[in-house]
Each structure stands twice: as C-alpha cells, then as structure tokens.
Amino acid sequence: MHADDHYHDLKNYVSSMGKHSHICMVYADREQQITALAEYFKTGLRLGQQCIYVSDVGTAHFVRNVMMRSGMNVEADLTDGSMRFLTPEETYLATGNFKGDAMIDLIEHLIADAYAAGFNGLRGAGDMTWVLVAKVTGKEILAYECNINRLFEQYPFMSMCQYDAGRFHADAVKMLIKTHPTVLHGGQIVKNPGYTPPGEFLALLEGEREMRIAV
C-alpha cells in the first residue's frame, strides 16, 4: 500500500482539528510523525495561523525537507513569518534549566506576537525527545503538560506534543496521555476518555513517586 493511502485517514483527522486543541501524539515511526505534522501545519497555514515547530536542529532539517517534498513552500513561509523553527534551547530551556511556568509565559508572548503580526492564532508542535537529554524529571514535565491546558481555554491556540513510543517509558506515556484532552494514536484522533482535569491530575501527581521517563 502506498504511504499516501496508508495515512489517508490520519491526514483527514489532522486536518479536521480545531482551535483550542491540546493533542498528544504517540508515534511509532518517523514517517507517521512527519505525515501528521505536515498535514497539521498545512491546515494551519491555510487558516492564516502562525506555525511554530520546536525540535533539535537535525529533526528540524529533516522535517523541513519532507515538507518541501510534499509541496509546501517552506522558504516563503519562513520569510513571511508564517512558519518558524525553534530549538529547545530557545524555548523550553531558555532559562538554562526547564521551568514549566517560564515556558507557559513564553507561549503567551508567542500568541500575542502572532496576533500582533496579523495571524489568526498560533499553531505549535514539538518533538519532546529533548526531555530525555535535559535535566527534567518525570513529574516536572507532567506538571507542565497539565498546567498548560489553561492556555487552550483562554486563547485560539493549539499544540501537538509528539512523543516517540520507542524512547519514552510506557508508564510515563500513560501519565502524559492523561494530561491531553485529545490523543492521536494509531492513525486516529480521539477525544481522550482518560483525560484528567488539572486540579485532579496535580493532586494525583503529588502522591506519585518519581517515575522513569526514558525506556
């Protein structure tokens, strides 16, 4: 089966997502990750949203090349500011060490900047693999993923957090999924029946022991 046919449903699901979405994508391979990402950003650009992708430089280069091969005019989007590629060091780790509240403040500024530049909202995505090499505990990243949900209620903002199933520990992934109202898994986007509201989740997290996040 051709890759375009294999991921037909995935593309349809991704292109149908609306604003105020906090999506957890647990991906099994690079093709699945990039297929979802390209469609996600194509839709955002079509709707006049600014699109920001956060990853290491190598992943960003790969993503950029795949997008160009899929017909996206990435150079033009970068030139007019519609598309931005940022690194973890410019975002999550901008203060030197990860601080969830500082990252949430940064995203609020990015949303304001997108509106000031004339865009119809902000659409973000990030390859979360940086967590595995930074000095970040499981509880810290879980608290961040939980607390950021308030931004999706307040602003026309959506984000796709991409977690590699082969590199993140299964127990950590189960907890991470609980912090996302929407889940993209196995080629489908579903409203997460296991989503746990912030207040309830933070109380649950407080009683948990520190957990392993890497496989």
Per-residue pLDDT of 143-153, as tens digits, reads 999 999 999 98
* CATH at residue 190: 3.40.50.300
Domain count, the chain: 1
CA distance 85 to 51: 9
Tell me: the pLDDT tens digits for 76-120? Answer: 999 999 999 999 999 999 999 999 999 999 999 999 999 999 999
Evaluate if residue 135 carries a pLDDT over 70. Answer: yes
CB 94 within 8 A of CB 106: yes
Other residues' Cβ atoms within 10 Å of the Cβ of residue 89? 14
pTM of the model: 0.91
**Residue 146: how many other CB atoms lie within 10 Å:** 24
The mean pLDDT of 173-184, rounded to a whole number, is: 95
Q: Measuring CA to CA, which residue among 159, 173, 156 is closest to residue 214?
A: 173
Q: Tell me which residue has tokens 């991470």.
A: 176
Q: Are 21 and 180 in contact (CB under 8 A)?
A: no
- Classify residue 120: in a domain, yes or no: yes
* Amino acid at residue number 110: L
pLDDT of the residue at 186:
66
Instruction: Indicate the range of 5-14, 27-36, 57-66 predicted with least confidence.
Output: 5-14
Burial class (CB in 10 A: 0-12, 13-18, 19+), 117: exposed
Residues 21-55 have pLDDT tens digits of 899 999 988 888 888 888 889 989 999 999 999 99
- The answer to whether residue 142 is domain-embedded is yes
pLDDT of residue 153: 87
- Asked if residues 28 and 165 have their Cβ atoms less than 8 Å apart, the reply is yes
pLDDT class for 3, splitting at 50, 70, 90? very low
Residue 213 lies in a domain: no
Flag whether 211 is in a domain: no
Give the neighbor-by-neighbor strand order of the sheet with 188-191. Answer: 83-86, 50-54, 122-127, 157-164, 22-27, 182-185, 188-191
Tell me if 212 is assigned to some domain.
no
| pLDDT of residue 124 exceeding 90 | yes
Average pLDDT, stretch 151-161? 91
Instruction: Please name which of 165, 176, 162 lies closest in space to residue 130, comparing C-alpha atoms.
Output: 162
Give the residue numbers spanning the domain of 30.
3-206
Q: Compute the mean pLDDT over every residue in the chain, rounded to the nearest whole number.
A: 90
